[in-house]
Amino acid sequence: MAGKDRVASFNISKFSPPGIVNLDIGDPTIFESYWRKMGEKSSLVISGNQFLSYFSDSKNECWYLESKLEDEIKRLHSVVGNASVEDYYVVVGTGSTQLLQAALYALCPDDGSNPVNVVSAVPYYSSYPELTDFLRSSLYKWKGDARTYDEGGPYIEFVTSPNNPDGSIREAIVKNGQGKLVHDLAYYWPQYTPITSCLGYDIMLFTLSKCTGHAGTRIGWALVKDKDVAKKMAEFNTITTIGVSKESQIRAAKILDLVSDSCQNPGPDNFFKHGQSLMAERWEKLRKVVGQSGLFSLPQYPKGHCLFTGEFSTEAHPAFAWMKCNKEDIDDCEKFLRGFQIVTRTGRRFGSDPKYVRVSLVGKEEEFELFLERLLAIQEDF
């Protein structure tokens, strides 16, 4: 997709004309009510004399990383049990979007003569092809679907689990022995999926956006096993933005601190349990509406033993609904829904069939309810 179209889709989300229900972008405002309830506890004052320096800790591989943020990232993973932190380097980025690019840079050999192929299994996160090819790098190039990739030589595979857009739990696909993996674990948090094991991959990416809902703070982090890879990722962030905003890092640390505290005190304030019930409620309502006719269908997810909640049969409630239109004469589900003023993202953007759309389930309550109302009305007419 051309850059121009991509920017346009962001504009729609911000300035949606009245009447349009925009469920295209996964803007995680669903968690706003929780944070409003936290009130003053989540506030932070930063004075004019703080954070003038570019530097945080020149001895760290990631020299601009605030130690408080590193501590809180490690603490949260230990509390949730979703990823190992021991012996991992933490690299922070301006969202995990910057880290995806930093990982590509870090995993390409310095002396490679040909661009390294980058793949991910269809349906893949729509930003992967865009960010891989945007600057027409000579280091790497987008090669599409990991399932049909059959070339020899070095490659990089993005493994997204749970996957955006379809919520599936994934493992690497290509096995030619020369690959490097980037595990994008943006949604591996208890509100979306049972935490079935503590992961320990070479590069694991997380983002505050999907973890706590603070997309605007633009903080992502990578847990990296190899020191040289961590160094190269930090180098990418040095060259592109000379580090990451200290204010954002300190805010992220504060938010993560509260989330970890909330998990350690039983009660209604447990952030992930609260998030899980919000997501469960939305999925229940959506399944009920979709179940009224055979016009659309949704994926089913296996239940799992969640190590975080201790429950044996925890359901997954992905951030997006990967919805299929089953009517034979409707080939383009996104266009069809747009006719009813529902904006979604077409399956095509994920390398998949236009009979599918991705619907954000993490937006505002009013928009979600309006979406259900319209979906119900559409189904009654068919």
Binding site for ligand PMP (CB under 6 A): 26, 95-97, 125, 160, 164, 184, 186, 207, 209, 215, 220
Nearest residue (CB) to ligand PMP, 130 versus 269: 130
User: Running DSSP on this structure, what letter comes out for residue 124?
Assistant: P
8 A C-beta contact, residue 85 and residue 78? yes
* CA terminus-to-terminus distance, the chain: 32
- In angstroms, rounded to a whole number, what is the distance separating the alpha carbons of residues 159 and 126? 13
Half-sphere exposure of 56 (CA within 13 A, CB side): 22
Helix (H, G, I), strand (E, B) or coil at 14: helix
Nearest residue (CB) to ligand PMP, 85 versus 215: 215
- In angstroms, rounded to a whole number, what is the distance separating the alpha carbons of residues 283 and 312? 19
C-beta nearest to ligand PMP: residue? 95
- In angstroms, rounded to a whole number, what is the distance separating the alpha carbons of residues 141 and 143? 6
Residue 146 has a CB neighbour count (10 Å cut-off) of 22
Nearest residue (CB) to ligand PMP, 128 versus 308: 128
Rounded to the nearest whole angstrom, what is the least distance from the CB of residue 254 to ligand PMP in the complex? 18
Nearest residue (CB) to ligand PMP, 120 versus 270: 120
Nearest residue (CB) to ligand PMP, 220 versus 304: 220
Contacts of 277 (CB under 8 A, 6+ apart): none
